Amino acid sequence: MTRALIIVDVQNDFCEGGSLAVDGGADLASLLSDFIDEQGGEFDHIVATQDWHIDPGAHFSQTPDFLHSWPVHCVADSKGSRFHPDLDTENVGAVFRKGQFEAAYSGFEGVLAPEDEVPTGEQKLGALAEGSTEDPVTLDDWLREREVDEVAVVGLATDFCVKATALDAVAAGYTTSVLVRYTRGVHPDGVETTLEELEEAGVELVE
């Protein structure tokens, strides 16, 4: 089995002090860094996703319902869109940006960031170098090219982008797990329902 760890949206705006903070987000960034340091060798690849919004339409709202609409967050090239500084990205091999012009909860809706940019550095919009005529590389493209057949999903938030990424992974045929300890949810009351939905879809829940 070729395994990949998918780190979902551990970004400044989703951690304490950000515009759409998830309770425990900053702590999770540190926990993930420790986890990668101790157990990262169990994975053949480590990748990460970023919300990367330009004009996502009704996804942004001045009167958000926190289910389908949200305060402005993770605007492309902003401080809020960058990875939280407590997340060690040294071993992240690829970053996939999603939601430029739509909501895009799943990492499988993202496209590959330029390869010559480090995850925490200044990042350009898009998946390819300026002037390139190649098609954007999706997360699914990248994983299949490396013959990945098993993925583990961690990050923010359990009941939205982690859930969507895991559901898309299992639907695409990957053996999929969610490492529950390394996720945090937006709505605590909804996390249990989310975990039940994931398990019913064939996602393994690892406590």
Segment 92-143, tens digit of pLDDT: 999 999 999 999 999 999 999 976 554 543 333 344 434 444 678 999 999 9
- By percentage, how much of the chain surpasses pLDDT 70? 90
CB-based contact 169:153 (threshold 8 Å): yes
Q: Domain boundaries in the chain?
A: 3-119+136-206
Look up the CATH architecture of domain 3-119+136-206: 3-Layer(aba) Sandwich (3.40)
Across residues 30-58, what is the average pLDDT?
96
Encode pLDDT of 159-181 as tens digits: 999 999 999 999 999 999 999 99
The secondary structure of 4-35, three-state, reads EEEEECCEHHHCCCCCCCCCCHHHHHHHHHHH
Active site residues: 9, 98, 161
| pTM of the full structure | 0.91
Q: What are phi and psi of 155, to 5 degrees?
A: 120, -150
Rounded-to-integer distance, Cα 90 and Cα 195, Å: 30
Nearest-angstrom CA–CA distance, 23 and 136: 34
Helices (H) and strands (E) in the chain, counts: 4, 7
